[in-house]
Amino acid sequence: MLYFPSVFLYVQNLKFKFVITSKTGTHQLAMSSYLSLSMVLLLFIFLIPFTFLLLMKRRKQNVQAKRLPPGPRRLPVIGNLHHLSDDLPHCAFEHPSSHYGPIMFLQLGSRSTLVVSSAEMTREVFKTHDLIFSGRPEFLYVAKRLSYDSSVSFSPIGKYWREVRKIVILELLSAKRIQMFRSVRDEEVGHMIDDIAHTSNGLINLNELTHFLSNRVLCRSAFGKKYDGAGGVISKNRIFELLEEAMNLLGGFCISDFLPWMGWLNKFNGLEKRVDKCFKGLDSFYDKVIEEHLDPKRPTPEHEDLVDVLLRVQKDPSQAIALTNDQIKGVITDIFIAGTDTSSATVVWTMAELIRNPLVMRNAQDEVRGVVKAQGKVEESDLSELMYLKLVIKESFRLHPPVPSLVPRVTTESCTIEGYEIPAKTMVFILAKMIGRDPKCWENPNEFFPERFLDSSIDYKGNHFELLPFGAGRRGCPGMNFAMQLVELTLANLLYRFDWELPDGMKREDLNMEEAAGITVQNKVPLYLAATPVHL
């Protein structure tokens, strides 16, 4: 138990006395003569710095007893929140991390926060202490609402999370289920290629094109049909708006996440209204999708889609948990929102890097055209032979991970890393982008050079901590294989069917590579490229 010596001055019978308390008891010093007020003030002047030094010594002992990782000085109340002035949190973390080291402690308002920025420290988090670091922040206002507080991505570790994750992996995203939707991917990529070929001016907005492609593939896989305005329950423009708003909200800054007592600001800054509007739009869409699937007049589909599977699991009495409709919607949110933007962002960043590196582009095109020859399009069965394309995608993930600081985690109990004590309930950010550009791991880290992986066993599946676009451990992304099939098939067909150039008058060095704010980082300025069909 801590004990602070104290000194009190009081007046008794017009005589000044000092009382000093200590561990050994209370001692009273009576002054034999009256003290003048000036002398009393002088004594106070002496005692104030003395007391201050005692308090500082005690504070230093407390810090030594609980040794936190290094970090910048904290301001009263807000702590280090002023470091988040950048629109992109991972960028805001990068500068202080380069100064304070690969494991940095911040106090973001009332939230203790750990920022990890090296492969070695990430190994400690994901391998040595994975269970402890597998919590999720339950206080994130937007994520809690839009995920129905029950999604796989944001649910805390526990029985519900374990059971739903098992359902997702075994029933929704298994190799068999992914293969089942092969024809969907093939057909939708074919439609995209036709759209490019029939564009009158040959100038393509790849952001919009790939986002629409990902959305259509996910809608058909998850809901059994497209919802693009052609008789669907929601128009193409509306669903795009909902998705874009959801991603912007999830990637934005909410003051009440860090200073809970300021939650009332959400009503006045418009955030609560935006979240409610987005939630109600998505919720209405989900309700109509579920209603359609429960309609007894609905034709029997050739294959169960993901909503069919969830509704079947809901009715299965042998399941360890009974899914509610809201919990089904939470799982849909994971697939519908997370799956669309990540695949689209990966394709666009890869094409941007290829257009900036024409030799790499030519090597990738030569490979795919040599493998596929004149068969007209790339099939999924061809992908296993496209080894150079796989290197290109790895290099794109290294420089442009879709979620640069990964989804934040929370420690479930305290632990020690490298001699530092990490308190329980500490929010944790892993800077995947900074690790991907760490000169200790990579030679010429800012250069786009796929050949660096030729003699390397490093992959992106969570086994190597230098490259973590999908995270690792218990909280690794379960949709990785689903996403990669679409990314590889899309890129292979874009490279096979077209030659790509920048718009007239634009130079490679003029290409804007700035990042936009959001939980999934897209390029800030949409990528427009000129496509010339190639007849093989």
DSSP state letters, 224-268? SS--SSSSSSS-HHHHHHHHHHHHHHHHS--GGGT-GGGTTHHHH
3-state class of 510 per DSSP?
helix
| 332/338 Cα distance (integer angstroms) | 10
Q: State the DSSP H helix or E strand holding residue 177, giving kind and residue range, or none if neither.
A: helix 175-180
Selection from 57, 58, 92 nearest residue 72 by Cα: 92
What proportions of the chain, in percent to the nearest 5, are helix, strand and coil? 50, 10, 35
Residue 46: partners with Cβ closer than 8 Å, 6 or more residues away: none
Q: Where are the alpha helices (DSSP H) in 337-479?
A: 339-356, 358-372, 387-399, 432-436
Provide the residue count of the chain. Answer: 536
Phi-psi region of 19 (alpha: psi -120 to 50; beta: other; left: phi over 0): beta
Residue 3, pLDDT score:
35
105 Rama class: left (phi>0) / alpha (psi -120 to 50) / beta: beta
143-399+450-457+473-533 sits in which CATH class?
A: mainly alpha
Question: Any alpha helices (H) in 66-125, and if so which ranges?
Answer: 89-100, 119-123
Distance of CA 95 to the CA centre of its chain: 19
Q: Which of 457, 475, 474 is nearest to 466 (CA)?
A: 457
Q: Where are the domains of the chain?
A: 6-65, 143-399+450-457+473-533
How does pLDDT run across 239-248, given as a tens digit for each residue?
677 877 888 8
Angle at 246 between CA 276 and CA 514, to 5 degrees: 140
pLDDT tens digits, residue range 381-432?
A: 999 999 999 999 999 999 999 999 999 999 999 999 999 999 999 999 999 9
Strands 6-12 and 15-22: antiparallel
Instruction: Provide the whole-model pTM.
Output: 0.85
Other CB atoms within 10 A of residue 233 CB: 16
Residue 198 CA from chain centroid, whole number: 36
Helix (H, G, I), strand (E, B) or coil at 27: strand
Measured distance CA(501)–CA(533) in Å, rounded = 12
Query: Phi, psi (5° rounding) for residue 345?
Result: -60, -40
pLDDT tens sequence for the chain (536 residues): 333 333 333 333 334 444 444 444 444 444 333 345 555 455 556 566 555 555 555 554 444 446 999 999 999 999 999 888 666 778 889 999 999 999 999 999 999 999 999 999 999 999 999 999 999 998 899 999 999 988 888 888 889 999 999 988 888 888 888 999 999 999 999 999 999 998 877 789 999 999 889 988 988 888 888 766 544 444 455 667 787 788 888 888 899 999 999 999 999 999 999 999 999 999 998 899 899 999 999 988 888 888 999 999 999 888 888 899 999 999 988 887 777 788 999 999 999 999 999 999 999 999 999 999 988 899 999 999 999 999 999 999 999 999 999 999 999 999 999 999 999 999 999 999 999 999 999 999 999 999 999 999 999 999 999 999 999 999 998 889 999 999 999 999 999 999 999 998 899 989 999 998 778 888 999 999 999 999 87
Is 477 labelled a binding residue? Answer: yes
Within 357-436, where are the H helices?
358-372, 387-399, 432-436
Tally DSSP H helices, then E strands, for the chain. 18, 12
CA dihedral 487, 493, 494, 497 (to 10 degrees): 180
The CA distances from residue 226 to 120, 192, 222, in Å, are 44, 14, 10
